[in-house]
Structure 1
Amino acid sequence: MHASAQQAPSETDSTPAPGAVSLAGVSKTFGDFTAVEALDLDVKPGEFLSMLGPSGSGKTTVLRMIAGFENVTSGSIHLSGVDVTQVPPHARQVNTVFQDYALFPHFTIAENVGYGLRVAGVSRAERATQVGVALEQVRLSAVADRLPHQLSGGQRQRIALARALILRPQVLLLDEPLGALDKQLREEMQIELKQIQREVGITFIFVTHDQEEALTLSDRVAVFNNGRVEQVGTAREVYEFPATEFVAKFLGLSNLIPAELSADGVQSSVRPERVRLLTADTAASAGTVSLLGTVSETVYTGPTTRFLVDTESGVRVIAERANDHHPSAESAFGRGDRVRVEWTTDHASQIG
């Protein structure tokens, strides 16, 4: 799968600007095992791209090849049009933020953030100025003199981000940096991370196995499976119009409807929130696929309730309804109830 990173040409130059990162036919093997196979992927300048997939799908290996930590078996990697396939990590204009933050425990926060500048020989006065700006960007100016163990997990994550950004890389690589945070803090940091990326304007490539996280953060999502990219698109495109059965099943809940039950005669995907749940004696609506069945299970999630319906056609269909009724009221449907499930034909996306 190849997603173009070309921009519209200017009036004076018909040559498209190069992508921030371009991978052409990139493969990586470890002995007899192929971790990444013939991958083509372009990342646009200033874009937030998430590489999403299960463990072992190849996304972290791709990140490490972009960083230079892993050698490419075949293919090429370009940064802003420059071939860096054989360039060592320290000579690439990229930086990486890891899940464990890797902060120096005996350095103050200011010393941690300014470490890269110190190694680069930047003067003490200039380092202090740039560290102040970097801490302001992540909204942690007040903790400059503290040690890492005195900060919360979310604060340490932001310090690791500031340390990476202060060197002004062309591309920032993030390897599941929110994975160690609890759910509430993780959701807060997702918003913070997206806001920071917009402010600094640097290309972010983010690795995650969390579908909701990828949808929340990304300009585009590349969905990985078995060393290949199955689909690249905006969050809405990959969710609403999955290109393959894997994407439909991995990216949130989805009902896979066999060809014989689909209006257009091909396998399709219908998201549970698109499925209407009606009493069994309700007449089928025009322009819908409508099936009778029995509620086999209900799942209360807080904002919604999911209903698992075993239809007479032999297909289990999940319907999801918003809990917008009075809090003290019970759901209109329960286990064992005979119901009708239906969805409009244009709410189903063809698979394959």
Structure 2
Amino acid sequence: MSMAASSPQTADRETGVTGSVSLQGLTKSFGEFTAVRDLDLHVAPGEFLSMLGPSGSGKTTVLRIIAGFEEATAGRVLLSGKDVTRTPPHARDVNTVFQDYALFPHMSIADNVGYGLRVKGAGKAERAAQVTEALGRVRLDHVADRLPHQLSGGQRQRIALARALILRPQVLLLDEPLGALDKQLREQMQIELKQIQREVGITFIFVTHDQEEALTLSDRVAVFNNGRIEQIGSAREVYENPQTEFVARFLGLSNLIAGDLAAELTGEARTMSIRPERVRMQASDAPLGDGEVGLLGTISEIVYTGPATRFLVASDAGVDVIAEQPNSHRPGGTAPRRGDRVRVSWDPSNAASLP
């Protein structure tokens, strides 16, 4: 897949459809260290794009270059077709939401949300009307008179979002904004964030290292590694059809069956990536299903996750295979145990073939 794969929406990269972002040959170096390497990326108007990758992969640096907080060493940044590569942050029609919220502690929630409008010279009546609308959008109009310390983490995050959206930027940049929230609240905020993005129709570019978060929120996911985009596509595309070993390993759990063993099983000497939920585990004497390939082995570890159970099987071929089974049965009964002999199998059509 091309590293500059087009978005699902069509947009002329030079004519300037409002809300589009184009990065062309973007490079950023800090001394001898190159954080971003010759990167091309186009984000369509109204798209929700997540930049996903481990720490140090370049995703936050790219976000800061789009915002204007960092200056590119080489390449161009186009916003709605206009070259803003050397434009200062305050002159770019983008807004940024950070992980730490950055709310003014001495100001009421209403004053925090309306601060940007006040700086731009909006009248008191206009500010009040827009603040009410913005707080209603994030379902927090009842906290307008409170101070930030009187709100929960999730509420403060929504206030930061309302403050950014009230200025109606062409593009909203979000730098791991949910990272400080606990798991349950983070999952709730993911749903709310996607709903808000659909309602306002603004282009969202979201930085995260959380794979589940990226898959949940995004129209497309760009997987970063060592300053480059390893793969870009819809959540389903990058998860089910990883194009590199890095993407297969980083984006969820994956079993990698190397070339020699893959050739023995399927006749094709290319590494296979098969997700654990696509692996079937049965008794060792159970027959293979139609078209399936499989390995015999011994269960070496069992991990209960609540919705599912993961089994680590040490195969006789010397490869560990993870099989995941949903916990859809009634509690109790006989369950597989460590030391049991089993057969793990899968349909090769459910495996991605890696270069």
Regarding TM over 0.5, the answer is yes
Q: In structure 2, what is the equivalent of residue 37 of structure 1?
A: 37
Q: In structure 1, what is the equivalent of residue 348 of structure 2?
A: 345
- Is 1:290–2:300 an aligned residue pair? no
* Structure 1 residue 328 displacement after superposition: 2.4
Equivalent runs, 1:80-229 vs 2, <5 Å: 80-229=80-229
Counterpart CA distance in 2 for 1:269 and 1:139 is 43
> Secondary structure of the residue that 1:114 maps to in structure 2?
helix
- How big is each residue's C-alpha offset from its partner over 1:169-207, in whole Å with a ceiling of 9 and x where there is no partner? 000000000011011101100000000000000000000
Q: Which amino acid aligns with 1:41?
A: L
* Structure 1 residue 16 displacement after superposition: 9.0
Q: Which amino acid aligns with 2:284?
A: A
Q: Is the 8 A contact 1:98 1:177 kept in 2?
A: yes
Q: Residue 285 of structure 2: which of 281, 288, 292 is its match?
A: 281
Counterpart CA distance in 2 for 1:6 and 1:54 is 25
- Is 1:4–2:9 an aligned residue pair? no
Q: Residue 307 of structure 1: which of 289, 311, 316 is its match?
A: 311
Counterpart CA distance in 2 for 1:19 and 1:195 is 18
Counterpart CA distance in 2 for 1:8 and 1:197 is 19
> Secondary structure of the residue that 2:185 maps to in structure 1?
helix
Identical columns (%): 71
Counterpart CA distance in 2 for 1:206 and 1:109 is 24
Q: In structure 1, what is the equivalent of residue 60 of structure 2?
A: 60
> Secondary structure of the residue that 2:133 maps to in structure 1?
helix
The 10-residue stretch of structure 1 (72-81 or 262-271) with the greater mean CA deviation from structure 2 = 262-271
Q: Which amino acid aligns with 1:252?
A: G
Q: Which amino acid aligns with 1:37?
A: R
> Secondary structure of the residue that 1:253 maps to in structure 2?
coil
* Structure 1 residue 29 displacement after superposition: 0.3
* Structure 1 residue 287 displacement after superposition: 1.2
Counterpart CA distance in 2 for 1:112 and 1:9 is 35
Q: In structure 1, what is the equivalent of residue 320 of structure 2?
A: 316
Q: 1:148 to 1:80 in 2, by over 3 A?
A: same
- TM-score, structure 2 length as denominator? 0.95
Number of equivalent positions: 347
* Structure 1 residue 18 displacement after superposition: 7.5
Counterpart CA distance in 2 for 1:216 and 1:328 is 32
- TM-score, structure 1 length as denominator? 0.96
Q: 1:32 to 1:204 in 2, by over 3 A?
A: same
* Structure 1 residue 351 displacement after superposition: 1.0
- How big is each residue's C-alpha offset from its partner over 1:15-58, in whole Å with a ceiling of 9 and x where there is no partner? 79587110000000000000000000001110110000000000
- How big is each residue's C-alpha offset from its partner over 1:248-296, in whole Å with a ceiling of 9 and x where there is no partner? 0000000001112322221110000000001001122331111111111
Moved >6 Å (runs of 4+): none
> Secondary structure of the residue that 1:318 maps to in structure 2?
strand
Q: Which amino acid aligns with 2:338?
A: R
